Amino acid sequence: MGFVGGEDETVVMIEIDWAGEAGRLRASAEGETDWNAAVARSLVREGDKVVADIGCGGGGMAKALAEALPGATVVAIDADPDVLEQAREHTAGLVRCELASMDDGAEPLRRAIDAPADLIWASASVHHAADQQAAVDALASLLAPGGRLALAEGGLPARHLPWDLGVGEPGLELRLDLAQDRWFKVMRDSLPGSVPMPYGWTEALTRAGLTGATTRSVLTEAPAPLPPERLESVVRAFRTRIERLTGSSQGHGHGHVVSDEEWLTPEDLDAWRQLLDPDGPHYLGQRSDLAVLSVRSVHLGHAPR
């Protein structure tokens, strides 16, 4: 993160350090095995021979696609070499891993996949492309006739916490979502050559020439009390989100921010510090009332036959 401008004009910039995120992306590939397997099974069709995961992160979905389609060619593509290395290790020979960026147009991606694709999956990656519509156009152009492009983007903000935690003002999780939404806008505006996309993902698929664009959303629920490992990963995810907003993960996180107060009020920040302090009396990891309720959307379009 940096600042541009004079005294009365400060522009906040966010630049994501993907190499610094590589370990977290690998952990999430490992933690989301069941979700990836279920979604992969629902997406593949008999006869699919070539599939690709673009912006593959730790390679969780690429691996699930390879397992759902034995004998098919699965290509995992990412723009960051350190992230790709994690995907290479995680997919352990099941998947071909290639370095390419959606920001460079269709040709490098086409060369990396090396054949028209029956299915392309891109999860939470297109929203990091400077021109999202251009990226969707590029991905659509890689499809074989009748091939499908699946974009996992958006859904509903997940819920984990009771509304009133007895620490800070009620509604902490909701206000964290709102802060993150403001962070997201600054992140997008900070991308060099950023182009707004003032419409939804099915519209983007349709503008890319695909037909029958529609959305399927997947609900995941784990009721309280969570098993210890799940509880730990929920707490870890909150810690990451707070670090991202406070810049306290400098050098290995999502860029840097001006001050704690930039995104969260000092009162909310103090409440989060108490909730995330393993030695304090309010530590979230000691509670039995945390849960997981999440809805993630997959937007699907079809190449004409």
Ligand X SMILES: C[S@@+](CC[C@H](N)C(=O)[O-])C[C@H]1O[C@@H](n2cnc3c(N)ncnc32)[C@H](O)[C@@H]1O
- Applying CB under 6 A, the residues found at the interface with ligand X are 18, 25, 28, 55-57, 78-80, 83, 101-103, 123-125, 128-129
Query: Taking the alpha carbons of 178, 180, 186, 191 in that order, is the dihedral positive or negative?
Result: negative
**Minimum distance from residue 57 beta carbon to ligand X (Å):** 3
Unique residue bearing structure tokens 């959307």: 297
Q: Quick one: 126 or 291, whose CB is closer to ligand X?
A: 126
Cα–Cα distance for residue pair 257/7, rounded to 1 Å: 17
**Chain residue at closest Cβ approach to ligand X:** 57
For residue 292, list its beta bridge partners. 222
**Minimum distance from residue 79 beta carbon to ligand X (Å):** 4
For residue 97, list its beta bridge partners. 76
**Minimum distance from residue 16 beta carbon to ligand X (Å):** 8
**Minimum distance from residue 275 beta carbon to ligand X (Å):** 24
Angle 283-290-294 (CA atoms, 0-180°, nearest 5)? Answer: 130
Q: Quick one: 118 or 131, whose CB is closer to ligand X?
A: 131
Q: Quick one: 33 or 248, whose CB is closer to ligand X?
A: 33
Given a contact cutoff of 8 angstroms between Cβ atoms, the answer to whether 302 and 146 are in contact is yes
Q: Quick one: 111 or 286, whose CB is closer to ligand X?
A: 111
Q: What is the CA radius of gyration of the chain?
A: 20
* Three-class SS state of 277: coil
A 10 A CB-CB count for 79 gives 19
Cα–Cα distance for residue pair 228/230, rounded to 1 Å: 6
**Minimum distance from residue 190 beta carbon to ligand X (Å):** 13
Cα–Cα distance for residue pair 224/204, rounded to 1 Å: 38
Q: Quick one: 123 or 246, whose CB is closer to ligand X?
A: 123
Q: Quick one: 28 or 265, whose CB is closer to ligand X?
A: 28
**Minimum distance from residue 267 beta carbon to ligand X (Å):** 30
